[in-house]
Amino acid sequence: MYFLDAAVNEVSSSANYFPIGLQFLFAIGFIAVMMGATHLMGPKRSTNDKLQNFESGIEAVGNARQPMAVKYFLVAILFVLFDVEVIFFYPYAVNFRELGWSGFGAVAMFVGFFLAGFFYIIKKGALQWED
């Protein structure tokens, strides 16, 4: 019984976290030194052109708080659907034999939900950009 208590205390000892803390301090120190060095040694030429707002090479016109079309948000939802689909299909593809029929049912249900969202996007016309 003593050996089990000793093993548990050894695993949860704070000395085991010392290398992680040391690496964290070195990383923070390195970042601080590099940012300070670039700030002190970097060129400082503040001209009127450099202080103006820059939007991808296009001059800002009008108010930035204009309402956006819902189609942009629907395309974003479509991207998230495809992105999440790939993320969840990979573990299933690797472990499909171990998961058996219950895993197949879970993946089939996921594909059903995915297709429901996909048909919703198509029904709302998110893929038709012509007005």
- 75 domain residue, yes or no: yes
Question: What CATH number is associated with residue 97?
Answer: 1.20.58
Token readout for 60 is: 């800002």
**Domain of 24?**
14-124
- 50 domain residue, yes or no: yes
Q: Per the structure, how many domains does the chain have?
A: 1
Residue 27: the pLDDT is 97
- 66 domain residue, yes or no: yes
- 36 domain residue, yes or no: yes
Q: What is the pTM of this model?
A: 0.40
Token readout for 85 is: 């689909």
Taken as a whole, the chain contains a residue count of: 131
Residue 31: the pLDDT is 97
- 5 domain residue, yes or no: no
- 108 domain residue, yes or no: yes
Spatial separation of the C-alpha atoms in residues 84 and 92, rounded to whole Å: 13
Query: Is it the case that residue 55 has pLDDT exceeding 70?
Result: no
Predicted confidence (pLDDT) per residue in 9-43, tens digit: 566 677 888 889 999 999 999 999 999 999 999 88
